C-alpha cells in the first residue's frame, strides 16, 4: 500500500502528573467535538512510514477513533501494539460485536481507552475487561476518586485550566492533555514545593528564582551585544544552580559535540555563542531547584522554538533568520512564565522589530507561524497565509517534537 499524502492532523502532547511527556494524542484537525477522528487514510499516511514512531520515541501515540471498523488488517500491520494506544468512542460499544472486537485487540497487546462518559453500552465492555478511559474534560472533571488507578492510566483530554487539572488528578486520571500549563498559577510555578513554608522557604523560593531569571536575561543581553567571554563567565559563576543546569544541558545527548564540557570557558569557546544563547533562552523555563515544582512551560517553549526554526529552514532561511525564529518561539511564553504582559517584558528586552510584531500582535510571516505553533490545529487557511504546505507542516512537527523530547529529558 503506497503512503498517502500528509494529512492535517492535530498533534497534542500528553503528560503525567509530574509533567513528563508520555505520549502524543493524534486526531483530525476538526477534533472529536466535531464528530471527526482519524480514518483509515489518515492512519495509513501517519504510520505508513517509520518516520512518526522513530521521531517521537520513546513516546507512545494515542489515536482517536470513532469505531474499530477502520482497523483493517492492513492498518493493524502498521500500528505497533507496544507504541500505539487506541482511544475508541465509547458510544460505539452499543453496536453488536464491538466490545468483543476491542477485547480481542486488547488481548493482542493493544491498549484500549474508551473515550466518553459511561453509558448503557459499557456493560459488555466491563465484562470484557475494557476499563481504561479517556474523557473530554472541557466541561468538568468526574467526581473525586471515581476512577480506579488499577485500570489506568486514564486520560483526561482538553484540560485547559490549572483548577481543572487538579480536579482531574483527584478524580483518578494519570495522563493529561490540554492547555493547563498556560494557566499554572504564579504560586505553583514559582516558589518552592507544595510543602514549603512560604516566601522565606529555602526550598527554591520565588526570590531565588527571580534572581536566576534576571541573571539569565542579563546574560542574554550580554550575548546580544557580543560581550567579552569573561563577562559571561562572571555572570554564570554567580549562580551555582544555573551553572549546573547549563553544563548538564550542554553535555546532553541533544547537544553533545563528542567530548565532555566541564567549564564555562569550554562551553563558550567550543559550542559557540549561537548555541549558548539558545540554551540560555530555554533555561529561563527550567527548574532552579531539584525539589521545585515541575516546569510546565519548558517543553512547550522548546517545541515552539524548534518548530518555527524548522519552518524557517525549510524555506531556505539563513542561520540568522533561523535564530530569530527559534527565539520567537521560545520567548512566546515569557508572559506566562513571568505573569506579566508581553509588552512590559519586551520593553526590558529589546528585540528586532519583526520579533516584536510576532510576539505582540502575531503580525508578519513569523507571527502567522507562531499562531500556528501556539494553536496546534493546522487550519488550512492559516497554513496558506503562513506559506506552509501540509507536508512541510508535518515534517516540521516531527522534527520539533523529536528535538523537544530530547531537550526536556536533559534539563
pLDDT in tens, the chain (411 residues): 444 566 788 899 999 998 899 999 998 865 444 446 899 999 999 998 878 999 999 999 999 999 999 999 999 999 999 999 999 999 998 888 999 999 999 999 999 999 987 665 666 666 667 889 999 999 999 999 999 887 889 999 999 999 999 999 999 999 999 999 998 887 555 543 333 333 333 344 455 666 767 777 777 777 777 777 788 788 877 777 777 777 776 776 555 566 777 777 776 766 677 777 888 888 888 765 555 566 789 999 999 999 999 999 999 999 889 999 999 999 999 999 888 899 988 887 778 889 999 999 999 999 999 999 998 777 888 899 889 998 899 999 999 999 999 888 766
| Best CA proximity match to 161, nearest among 133, 143, 182 | 182
* Alpha carbon distance 182, 16 (integer Å): 16
Assess whether 155 and 17 both reside in one domain: yes
Assess whether 177 and 316 both reside in one domain: no
Question: Is 279 within a domain?
Answer: no
Question: Is 248 within a domain?
Answer: no
Question: Is 251 within a domain?
Answer: no
Domain interval for residue 179: 9-183
Assess whether 304 and 178 both reside in one domain: no
Domain count, the chain: 2
Neighbours of 303 (CB within 10 A): 24
Q: What is the pTM of this model?
A: 0.85
Q: Which residues, in sequence order, are bridge partners of residue 24?
A: 13, 61
CATH number at residue 107: 3.20.20.450
Assess whether 173 and 28 both reside in one domain: yes
Q: Find the angle CA(216)-CA(222)-CA(228) to the nearest 5 degrees.
A: 125
Residue 205 confidence (pLDDT): 47
Choose one of 183, 206, 222: the last residue of a domain.
183
* Alpha carbon distance 253, 408 (integer Å): 11
Assess whether 305 and 170 both reside in one domain: no
Q: What are phi and psi of 72, to 5 degrees?
A: -70, 165
Choose one of 183, 213, 235: the last residue of a domain.
183
* Alpha carbon distance 157, 14 (integer Å): 9
Question: Is 324 within a domain?
Answer: yes
Residue 143 confidence (pLDDT): 93
- Asked if residues 120 and 162 have their Cβ atoms less than 8 Å apart, the reply is no
What Å distances lie between residue 227 and 234, 237, 244, 273, 326, CA to CA? Answer: 12, 16, 22, 10, 21
Question: Is 117 within a domain?
Answer: yes
Residue 118 confidence (pLDDT): 66
Choose one of 140, 161, 183: the last residue of a domain.
183
Residue 167 confidence (pLDDT): 97
- Asked if residues 171 and 149 have their Cβ atoms less than 8 Å apart, the reply is no
Question: Is 1 within a domain?
Answer: no
- Asked if residues 13 and 177 have their Cβ atoms less than 8 Å apart, the reply is yes
* Alpha carbon distance 403, 392 (integer Å): 17
Question: Is 252 within a domain?
Answer: no
Question: Is 200 within a domain?
Answer: no
Residue 22 confidence (pLDDT): 95
Q: Which residues, in sequence order, are bridge partners of residue 111?
A: 85
Assess whether 39 and 165 both reside in one domain: yes
- Asked if residues 252 and 406 have their Cβ atoms less than 8 Å apart, the reply is yes
Amino acid at each position: 500500500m503506497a503512503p498517502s499524502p500528509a494529512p492535517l492532523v492535530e498533534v497534542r502532547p500528553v503528560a503525567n502528573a509530574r509533567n513528563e511527556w508520555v505520549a502524543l494524542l493524534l486526531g483530525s484537525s476538526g477534533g472529536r467535538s466535531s464528530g471527526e477522528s482519524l480514518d483509515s487514510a489518515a492512519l495509513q499516511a501517519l504510520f505508513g512510514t517509520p518516520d512518526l514512531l522513530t521521531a517521537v520515541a520513546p513516546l507512545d501515540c494515542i489515536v482517536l477513533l470513532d469505531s474499530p471498523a477502520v482497523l483493517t488488517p492492513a492498518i493493524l500491520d502498521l500500528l505497533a501494539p507496544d507504541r500505539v494506544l487506541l482511544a475508541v468512542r465509547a458510544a460505539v460499544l452499543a453496536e453488536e460485536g464491538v466490545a468483543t472486537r476491542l477485547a480481542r485487540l486488547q488481548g493482542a497487546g493493544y491498549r484500549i481507552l474508551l473515550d466518553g462518559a459511561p453509558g448503557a453500552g459499557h456493560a459488555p465492555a466491563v465484562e470484557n475487561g475494557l476499563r481504561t478511559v479517556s474523557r473530554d474534560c472541557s466541561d468538568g472533571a468526574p467526581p473525586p476518586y471515581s476512577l480506579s488507578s488499577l485500570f489506568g492510566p486514564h486520560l483526561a483530554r482538553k484540560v485547559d485550566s490549572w483548577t481543572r487539572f487538579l480536579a482531574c488528578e483527584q478524580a483518578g486520571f494519570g495522563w493529561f492533555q490540554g492547555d493547563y500549563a498556560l494557566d499554572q498559577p504564579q504560586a505553583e510555578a514559582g516558589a518552592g514545593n507544595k510543602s514549603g513554608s512560604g516566601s522565606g522557604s529555602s526550598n527554591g523560593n520565588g526570590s531565588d528564582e527571580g534572581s536566576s531569571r534576571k541573571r539569565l536575561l542579563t546574560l542574554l543581553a550580554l550575548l546580544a551585544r557580543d560581550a567579552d567571554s569573561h563577562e559571561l563567565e562572571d555572570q554564570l559563576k554567580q549562580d551555582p544552580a544555573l551553572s549546573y543546569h547549563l553544563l548538564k544541558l550542554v553535555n546532553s545527548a541533544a547537544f553533545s559535540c563528542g567530548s565532555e564540557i566541564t567549564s564555562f570557558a569550554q562551553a563558550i569557546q567550543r559550542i559557540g555563542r549561537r548555541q549558548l544563547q539558545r540554551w540560555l533562552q530555554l533555561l529561563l523555563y527550567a527548574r532552579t531547584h531539584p525539589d521545585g515544582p515541575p516546569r510546565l512551560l519548558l517543553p512547550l517553549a522548546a517545541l515552539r522554538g524548534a518548530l518555527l526554526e524548522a519552518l524557517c529552514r525549510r524555506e531556505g532561511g539563513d542561520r540568522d533568520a533561523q535564530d530569530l525564529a527559534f527565539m520567537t518561539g521560545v520567548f512566546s511564553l515569557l508572559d506566562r512564565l513571568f505573569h506579566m504582559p508581553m509588552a512590559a517584558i519586551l520593553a526590558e528586552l529589546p528585540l528586532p522589530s519583526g520579533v516584536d510584531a510576532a510576539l505582540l500582535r502575531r503580525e508578519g510571516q513569523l507571527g502567522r507561524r507562531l499562531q500556528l505553533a501556539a494553536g496546534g490545529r493546522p487550519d488550512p487557511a492559516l497554513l496558506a497565509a503562513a506559506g506552509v504546505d501540509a507536508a512541510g507542516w508535518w515534517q516540521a512537527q516531527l522534527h520539533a517534537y523529536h528535538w523537544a523530547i530530547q531537550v526536556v529529558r536533559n534539563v
